């Protein structure tokens, strides 16, 4: 369960300039639900996910993971989170098994637990053939699976996926799609960001449209389409954010814009 309340994040960009990356964003993602943050590059998706994952501290507002406040109990929050992004890499000189076990150990699991869980994940993901090969020597698809195994090693109830399919070919991206579907089936709460409308439409139970740091609309795909009065998500995005009439517009200038402090 992810509950986000009025979350804001402001970066200091030097020389007294501030960049508002997130402005009073609120949404909820329930167990067994896939929630998609949809928005173009620079909308604030990565910032939002990093704040929720406790990598960045929020400037204002709050969020809770399974009822635990991200600012007050970051350690407990991290134990419940699995985080994966398209830019996440592997330690090339470690084997797939060592890689996954290292993270399992850092999540506080005992050696025996880690070994058992690794074997389980490798079997489920079809990784047994390359479990003891160095990550350097793996194909993109194999690396993707190692990343997924790493994300799931501590069996987190909440998954945060930052543009997980960006830059992946269709076959490799399928592994991610399966991951999302399986986690939903297991009752996990999955929050993921994407700029791919079709992917969002295909995978998400509910969607939040993020643009310039603000959440413009929220709901199921059907609800959003109905609200925008269109049958295409892309068109709905443009209408709901007012992006079609850019750069004018009273709303457009508020977020993700450099303002004097």
Partner 1 sequence: MNPRNVAIVFGKEVLDIVRDRRTLLFMVLLPIAIIPLLVLVLGKVTEAGIERLERTPSRVALLGERWAPVPVLELLRHLEDPEAAGRWLAAQLAGGAPHPFVAGLLMPDADAQPGLAGAPVGPRGGGTGEEQAGPVLERARRLRLLRVVALEVRSPVLARALAQAPAELLDPQALAPAPGGGSAAGPHAAAEPAPPAGGAEPAAAELSPALLARARQELCAEAAAAIEQGRLDAVLIFHPGFAEALERGYGARYTVLVDEAQDRSSIARNKIEALFERGARGVTRAQLVRAGLDPEVLQPVRGQVRNVGRERNLLALFLPYLVIIMCFSGALYPAIDLGAGEKERGTLETLLLTPARRSELVAGKFLVVLLAGLLAAALNVASLSLTLASGWAEARGIALVFEPLAAVLTVLLMVPTAAIFAALLLAISVYARSFREAQSYAVPLNFLVIVPAFFSMIPGFELDPILALVPVLNVTLALKEIWTGTVQAGMLALIFASTAAYAAVAILACAAWFRRESVLFRA
Interface residue list for partner 1 (CB under 8 A) = 12, 50, 53-57, 75-76, 78-79, 81, 83-85, 87-94, 98, 102-103, 105-108, 150
Residue 29: beta bridge partners?
A: 2
H helices of the chain, in order, are 45-52, 74-79, 96-106, 111-124, 140-152, 170-185, 197-203, 221-228, 233-241
Pairwise CA distance, residues 109 & 35, whole Å: 28
* Closer residue to partner 1, CB minimum distance, 57 or 123: 57
The minimum distance between CB 259 and partner 1, in angstroms, equals 17
The minimum distance between CB 222 and partner 1, in angstroms, equals 34
* Closer residue to partner 1, CB minimum distance, 99 or 180: 99
The minimum distance between CB 202 and partner 1, in angstroms, equals 26
Pairwise CA distance, residues 55 & 88, whole Å: 14
126 — phi, psi (to 5°)? 65, 45
* Closer residue to partner 1, CB minimum distance, 92 or 253: 92
* Closer residue to partner 1, CB minimum distance, 30 or 93: 93
The minimum distance between CB 212 and partner 1, in angstroms, equals 17
Length of the chain as a residue count:
261
* Closer residue to partner 1, CB minimum distance, 150 or 184: 150
Q: Which of 160, 142, 15 is nearest to 84 (CA)?
A: 160
- Contact at 8 Å (CB) between 9 and 51? yes
The minimum distance between CB 239 and partner 1, in angstroms, equals 31
* Closer residue to partner 1, CB minimum distance, 71 or 103: 103
Cβ count within 10 A of residue 31: 15
Determine which helix (DSSP H) or strand (DSSP E) holds 26, and give its type and residue range.
strand 17-29
The minimum distance between CB 261 and partner 1, in angstroms, equals 16
* Closer residue to partner 1, CB minimum distance, 92 or 249: 92
- What DSSP character marks residue 233? H
- Contact at 8 Å (CB) between 143 and 90? yes
The minimum distance between CB 14 and partner 1, in angstroms, equals 9
């Amino acid at each position: 369960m992810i509950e986000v309340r009025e979350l804001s994040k402001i970066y200091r960009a030097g020389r007294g300039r501030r960049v508002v990356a997130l402005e009073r964003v609120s949404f909820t993602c329930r167990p067994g639900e896939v929630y998609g943050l949809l928005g173009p590059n620079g909308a604030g998706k990565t910032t939002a996910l990093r704040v929720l994952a406790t990598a960045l501290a929020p400037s204002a507002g709050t969020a809770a993971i399974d009822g635990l406040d991200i600012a007050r109990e970051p350690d407990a929050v991290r134990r419940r989170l699995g985080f994966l992004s398209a830019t996440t890499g592997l330690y090339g000189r470690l084997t797939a098994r060592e890689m996954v076990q290292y993270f399992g150990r850092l999540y506080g699991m005992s050696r025996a637990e880690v070994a058992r869980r690794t074997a389980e994940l490798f079997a489920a993901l079809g990784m047994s053939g390359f479990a003891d090969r160095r990550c350097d020597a793996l194909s993109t698809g194999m690396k993707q699976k190692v990343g997924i195994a790493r994300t799931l090693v501590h069996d987190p109830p909440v998954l945060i996926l930052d543009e997980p399919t960006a830059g992946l070919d269709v076959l490799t991206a399928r592994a991610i799609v399966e991951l999302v579907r399986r986690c939903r089936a297991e009752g996990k709460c999955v929050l993921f960001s994407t700029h791919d409308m079709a992917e969002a439409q295909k995978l998400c139970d509910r969607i939040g449209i993020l643009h310039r740091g603000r959440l413009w609309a929220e709901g199921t795909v059907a609800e959003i389409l109905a609200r925008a009065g269109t049958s295409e998500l892309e068109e709905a995005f443009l209408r709901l954010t007012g992006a079609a009439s850019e750069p004018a517009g009273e709303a457009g200038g508020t977020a993700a814009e450099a303002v004097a402090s």
